[in-house]
Structure 1
Amino acid sequence: MGRSGSGRVGGAPGPYSLIMAPFTAFSLVATDLDGTLLRADDTFSDRSRAALARVARAGAQHLVVTGRPAPRVRPLLDDLGCGGLAVCGQGAQVYDAGAHRLLWSVTLDRELAETALGKIEAEVGQVYAAVDQDGVDGLTLIEPGYRMPHPTLPAVRVERRDDLWCAPISKVLLRHAELSDDELAATARAVVGSLATVTMSGPGTVELQPLGVTKATGLALAAEHLGLGPRRTIAFGDMPNDIPMFGWAAHGVAMANAHPALKAVADEITRSNEDDGVAVVLERLFGAA
């Protein structure tokens, strides 16, 4: 993993390990949304807003890097007043919020996706699926039996699985009635890992996306567009889908509520998303309001 070389200070860290970085150490701040910058009620705290404003005043860039597709991200970007780029769909989309267009996108072959589902079900029995359609106005379609992990997100229920493939898609979301997310992700990775990238982005959210596409590939594309690179990038996240992003960035910060797999590769652990963990670190790096 690419790192700045600072590492954790001291020996075993306390509840929150801190690295005292120079004020101008980072020119790019990459943040996940769910479980990281967003609170459980899908809102941003005033403290987080103030910290991001401080980042902007210091001349650094903030990039949202999320599993949510562009149509589900736009209202949140509008709320933050962000008119720049965002990485959406687990890296499958680089979205220009100001122009409301995709600068780059890649789709998951629908026949391949259907084949992958069949292979997974041959191992674990019935799974329930949903898809995020490609495009700035793409829908989230869910088949019978699928429950949205985020009930606040809009979705359209279809009558049968075949209806999921009616338009180009960026990813497939999977749920199983009995298996844990870790178990489902491990099985899916074992049987379809050569066909698609398998990741876990939150409770009840195991996903199939185009092979080789991760948050890191999307972040690298967006950063290049901005004339920036990994050496001065700090990334925040909470789930295994953030591991590639941490590998690309110079410094990775996991939330206190993060999955153990992400904490294991993080340079630093901050407070939870409910306790303004992102803001705590940004205030240290860029100064408090």
Structure 2
Amino acid sequence: MVRILRLMAAPIAPLVPLVVPPAYALIATDLDGTLLRGDDTLSDRSRDALADAVAAGAQHLVVTGRPAPRVRPLLDDLGCRGLAVCGQGAQLYDAGEDRMVWSVTLDRELAETALGKIEAEVGEVYAAVDQDGVDGLTLIEPGYRMPHPLLPAVRVDRRDDLWTEPISKVLLRHPWLSDDELAAAARQAVGSLAAVTMSGPGTVELQPCGINKATGLALAAERLGLAPSGTIAFGDMPNDIPMFHWAARGVAMANAHDDLKAVADEVTLSNEEDGIAVVLERLFG
């Protein structure tokens, strides 16, 4: 009996609040056709959903095909002060310090050779390049039309002017071939000279071999101390496929390319209908 009384009189340990980890520690989002609406704006609902997820302990990481200089104003608007994966994974940009943490350039001689091989198969193409660096320009040759009219570009007089500075990628357009047809022909023509991807309407690109959104995302996640098992990724185009393969869960937008939908774990509403917010509200609400 004495022993029982002693047990009952023992001090009760204070309750420790239970810390529940977020459903996903890392939220990786593409921009065009995914997080942003067609006019390059972010809806209040999407902004609030991301803020709630971050408040719950998750981190938001932009993973985009846009080069760092074309992303900087959007990152400011999103309040992103950390890392961003840009240029299809060829650039890891620190928004807070406005510096490139890591970048890979596309060999300009290989790029020019690749263009020649593509034109030998499909006829004349029009090209543009994204220069490397935090202040790199987008240069477009005669005949090339920017697929996104809100992105700034500098027109040059001839193709040779595209190669004056280091570049991160080449953008291609064809007078009549569809994006899928041009991408398929380019892959067949360039072989191992460069990687070919499609990141949006009118946007077929050549980039360094072995570089894609997954390589950039993996590098950023490692620096953040996060893993694929805790990552959810959102996208809309075939260039997001490597990112979906790397992440634990891939969510395609309703407006996504069929190739991405085929490998997605889930299809949400379109970018115009706050598809990302719908998923985040379910996971973090």
TM-score range, shorter chain: over 0.9
List structure 1 runs of 4+ shifted beyond 6 angstroms: none
The residue aligned with 2:240 is 242
Partner AA of 2:52 in structure 1:
R
The residue aligned with 1:205 is 203
> How far, CA to CA, are the matches of 2:226 and 2:130 in structure 1?
29
Deviation at 1:273, TM superposition (A): 0.1
The residue aligned with 2:69 is 71
Q: Are residues 1:173 and 2:164 paired?
A: no
Alignment partner of 1:39 out of 26, 37, 40: 37
Contact 1:23/1:285 (<8 A) preserved: no
Q: What pairs with 1:1-289 in structure 2 (closer than 5 Å)?
A: 24-287=22-285
> How far, CA to CA, are the matches of 2:97 and 2:227 in structure 1?
23
The residue aligned with 1:15 is none
Partner AA of 1:175 in structure 2:
R
> How far, CA to CA, are the matches of 2:221 and 2:93 in structure 1?
12
Contact 2:172/2:203 (<8 A) preserved: yes
Q: Percent identity over the alignment?
A: 83
> How far, CA to CA, are the matches of 1:23 and 1:226 in structure 2?
16
Cα deviation digits, residues 39-98 of structure 1 (max 9, x gap): 000000000100110111011110000000000000000001110110000000000000
Cα deviation digits, residues 74-128 of structure 1 (max 9, x gap): 0000001110110000000000000000110000000000000000000000000
Partner AA of 1:45 in structure 2:
S
> How far, CA to CA, are the matches of 1:29 and 1:194 in structure 2?
32
**Structure number with larger C-alpha Rg:** 2
> How far, CA to CA, are the matches of 1:24 and 1:225 in structure 2?
19
Number of aligned residue pairs: give it.
Answer: 266
Contact 2:21/2:57 (<8 A) preserved: no
The residue aligned with 2:13 is none
TM-score, length basis structure 2: 0.92
Contact 1:181/1:203 (<8 A) preserved: yes
Partner AA of 2:96 in structure 1:
G
TM-score, length basis structure 1: 0.91
Cα deviation digits, residues 242-280 of structure 1 (max 9, x gap): 000000000000000000000000000000000000000
